[in-house]
Amino acid sequence: MKHSLKSFFLGSLAILAFACKTQEAEKTAERPNIIFIMSDDHAYQAISAYDNTLIETPNIDRIAKMGMLFTNASVTNSICAPSRATILTGKHSHINGKVDNHFPFDTTNVTFPQILQDAGYQTAMFGKLHFGNSPKGFDQFKILPGQGAYYNPDFITKNEGNIKVEGYVTDIITDMTLDWLQNERKADQPFMLMYLHKAPHREWLPAERHVEEFTNRTFKEPATLFDDYSGRGRAAHEAEMNLLTDMHWSGDSKVYPEVMDELGIEGTSGWDKGAFDREVGRMNETQRANWDKAYMKVNEDFKKAYPTMTEEDKMKWRYQRYMQDYLGTIKAVDENVGRVLDYLEANDLMENTIIVYTSDQGFYLGEHGWFDKRFVYNESFKTPLLMAWPGKVEGGTKSDEMVQNLDFAQTFLAAAGIEAPSDMQGESLLPLLTGETDKWTRDAVYYHYYEYPSVHMVKRHYAIITKEYKLVHYYFDNDEWELIDRKKDPMELTNVYDDPAYAEIRADLHKQLDDMREKYGDSSELSQEYIEKYLDYIQENNSYNGGKNTELIDKIFEERKK
């Protein structure tokens, strides 16, 4: 009898243990894979799911067709490294400490890949991180040092040290990603893969296979190409992002240095010709020959036209040159996203996989006469966001809710069934993705840009943005407020802050902004602290670049002495 009871007891334990293991395996199997695809400076205007005026991106569009397109997605700080820090930490810049591209990332920050790795996810990163040489929380990584190069790029790797790989960077990053999926991915573990493109970051070098096609294309000009900023304040007037006066002739527009010399064109800075030599100088003999075949023709045509060009002609020419190269790099991104999606489909990995396509911020494509980003105006502040989760998210859906890059960390943790740390500041997007929109509570977002005085000279500012309005405060080197009516003024040409018709709206937004700054832990005192740290840094390192506004920067330092 005792033996029977003992056998029954042991058998019950074994069954219970087996049941627990089975439940644990089922729970692990239920956790979704996550593929986070991010490009650098990819404007939503250059994705055909948003607008096909400039380019068709059929492969990126596939993600929207499988899932959801967000039309009001935005960033908290429109500049590369701070945006990436926000994505990884789920915290605003003033909390995670990465407020600009100068100061190093605080590696004591806990990132969502670390949390997923600790919870049993296999993790990998390939491509452009932009800061740090040894990202935490990854079982495998191969990343570009800093900005990286378009041709024959160097990589920092976890297992091989520093390597150089022959070829075009967008193709190489994809090759590494597919190799990991094929040969290193563990079938019994959920995975989180970060697939991060350098393109279409400046200086916009298309792949050899695309240069001839794109250097022969003509693109529609934006309505505000010749904006005179008459409806806005000092910040827009004093920014150095104009296509004609601030873009580099050689590094950006690919006018060969010897052609600049022949035509007597002065470079916009010492970076101008150097940027061209640095990028094109990496090419091997075959690559350079293919490049010259297209760009020598561009240069010969420019030499003939330049002597009789008006300033308007030059602006129009520079816009076309910009779009040809910028959009040419996106062509390769779209092709390679297609390669990854094809692999997922061919290997039955679409089911229970969250697929995200986004950019680290938006970008100006000639709107307001600008290139680059930084401002809270739409082309910079808004970012593309397409998310698919077959079986969970209805295909072909759209959301206009105010979502941010702040939300990725909590979204991925929630999808994996992991409670997010209490100091993360975003919101999970799962209610929007799965149709439970009544659980979404946010109707406004917060923005804060810090890197001034520096390249492009965009002044420090913070803002609250709703679907209808933007209230913006420029607070250093000037004290100006802007109120933009997003519905009536979609091109954001007019500041209505002092318009009596908006007095009640203005007062309400001021109250909301104060509450939001308190909620997120931002303040004027903290802003001043970051200003002082930044000015100390650039003075000690003599690292500021004021361009045309050097006198203004010198004045800032003179005032500081007083």
- Structure-token pair, residue 398: 């759209």
User: Are the beta carbons of 203 and 273 closer than 8 angstroms?
Assistant: no
How many helices (H) and strands (E) the chain has is answered by: 18, 16
**Per the domain annotation, does 12 fall within a domain?**
no
According to the 3-state scheme, what is the secondary structure of 456-516?
CCCCCEEEEEECCEEEEEECCCCCEEEEEECCCCCCCCCCCCCCHHHHHHHHHHHHHHHHH
Q: What is the pLDDT along the chain (562 residues), one digit of tens a residue?
A: 444 444 444 454 444 444 444 444 444 458 999 999 999 999 999 999 999 999 999 999 999 999 999 999 999 999 999 999 999 999 999 999 999 998 889 999 999 999 999 999 999 999 999 988 789 999 999 999 999 999 999 999 999 999 999 999 999 999 999 999 999 999 999 999 999 999 999 999 999 999 999 999 999 999 999 999 999 999 999 999 999 999 999 999 999 999 999 999 998 877 889 999 999 999 999 999 999 999 999 999 999 999 999 999 999 999 999 999 999 999 999 999 999 999 999 999 999 999 999 999 999 999 999 999 999 999 999 999 999 999 999 999 999 999 999 999 999 999 999 999 999 999 999 999 999 999 999 999 999 999 999 889 999 999 999 999 999 999 998 899 999 999 999 999 999 999 999 999 999 999 999 999 999 999 999 999 999 999 888 888 776 655 566 677 777 878 877 7
**Alpha-carbon span 363 to 374, nearest angstrom:** 9
Identify whether residues 84 and 43 lie together within a single domain. yes
**Per the domain annotation, does 19 fall within a domain?**
no
Residue among 218, 216, 149, 200 nearest 330 (CA) = 200
**Per the domain annotation, does 23 fall within a domain?**
no
DSSP conformation letters of 240-296 = --BTTTTS-TTTTT---HHHHHHHTPPPSSTHHHHHHHHHHTT--HHHHHHHHHHHH
* Domain CATH for 79: 3.40.720.10
**Alpha-carbon span 302 to 355, nearest angstrom:** 43
Last residue of a domain, one of 294, 323, 352: 323
Pairing of strands 461-466, 73-74: unpaired
**Alpha-carbon span 262 to 290, nearest angstrom:** 24
User: Are the beta carbons of 53 and 385 closer than 8 angstroms?
Assistant: no
Last residue of a domain, one of 422, 437, 452: 437
Residue among 85, 141, 133 nearest 109 (CA) = 85
Using alpha carbons only, give the angle 206, 241, 132 rounded to the nearest 5 degrees. Answer: 65
Identify whether residues 337 and 397 lie together within a single domain. yes
* Domain CATH for 526: 3.30.1120
- To which H or E segment does residue 327 belong? helix 311-346
Last residue of a domain, one of 323, 352, 375: 323
The label of the residue with tokens 């330092």 reads: 557
As a dihedral over the C-alpha atoms of residue 91, residue 95, residue 100, residue 105, rounded to 10 degrees, the angle is: -80
**Alpha-carbon span 193 to 190, nearest angstrom:** 10
Identify whether residues 189 and 231 lie together within a single domain. no
User: Are the beta carbons of 392 and 351 closer than 8 angstroms?
Assistant: no
**Alpha-carbon span 19 to 9, nearest angstrom:** 15
**Per the domain annotation, does 120 fall within a domain?**
yes
pLDDT digits (tens, 9 = 90+) for 27-46: 445 899 999 999 999 999 99
How many Cα atoms occupy the beta-carbon half-sphere of 315 within 13 Å?
19
Identify whether residues 318 and 335 lie together within a single domain. no
First to last CA, the chain: 95
Is pTM beyond 0.85? Reply is yes
Identify whether residues 200 and 235 lie together within a single domain. no
Report DSSP state, residue 367: G
Identify whether residues 54 and 198 lie together within a single domain. yes
User: Are the beta carbons of 476 and 531 closer than 8 angstroms?
Assistant: yes
Identify whether residues 72 and 142 lie together within a single domain. yes
Cβ–Cβ contacts within 10 Å for residue 124, how many? 23
**Alpha-carbon span 282 to 225, nearest angstrom:** 33
The residues near 144 (Cβ < 8 Å, ≥ 6 apart) are 127, 128, 129, 153, 154, 155, 156, 169, 198
User: Are the beta carbons of 397 and 73 closer than 8 angstroms?
Assistant: no
Cβ–Cβ contacts within 10 Å for residue 393, how many? 21
b/e map 11-42, b = 16+ CB within 10 Å: eeeeeeeeeeeeeeeeeeeebbbbbbbbbbbb
- Structure-token pair, residue 148: 């990286």
Identify whether residues 133 and 259 lie together within a single domain. no
**Per the domain annotation, does 16 fall within a domain?**
no
**Per the domain annotation, does 283 fall within a domain?**
yes
**Alpha-carbon span 375 to 517, nearest angstrom:** 19
Cβ–Cβ contacts within 10 Å for residue 299, how many? 18
Instruction: Give the CA radius of gyration of the chain.
Output: 25
The label of the residue with tokens 């200086």 reads: 203
Residue 359 pairs with which residues in a beta bridge?
A: 39
The contacts found for 431-435 with CB under 8 angstroms, 24 or more apart, are: 432/68, 432/399, 432/401, 432/403, 433/67, 433/68, 433/387, 433/389, 433/392, 433/393, 434/392, 434/393, 435/394
Identify whether residues 335 and 317 lie together within a single domain. no
Identify whether residues 228 and 290 lie together within a single domain. yes
Identify whether residues 348 and 391 lie together within a single domain. yes
User: Are the beta carbons of 449 and 66 closer than 8 angstroms?
Assistant: no
pLDDT digits (tens, 9 = 90+) for 216-269: 999 999 999 999 999 999 999 999 999 999 999 999 999 999 999 999 999 887
Sequence length of the chain is: 562
Report DSSP state, residue 188: T
Identify whether residues 173 and 105 lie together within a single domain. yes
How many folded domains does the chain comprise? 3
Q: Which domain holds residue 428?
A: 30-204+329-367+385-437
- Structure-token pair, residue 4: 């029977």
Q: What are phi and psi of 109, to 5 degrees?
A: -60, 135
CA 387, distance to chain mean position in Å, is: 15
**Per the domain annotation, does 443 fall within a domain?**
no
The label of the residue with tokens 């040409």 reads: 493
**Amino acid occupying residue 168:** Y
**Per the domain annotation, does 2 fall within a domain?**
no
Cβ–Cβ contacts within 10 Å for residue 316, how many? 18
| Sign of the C-alpha dihedral computed for residues 358, 359, 363 and 365 taken in this order | negative
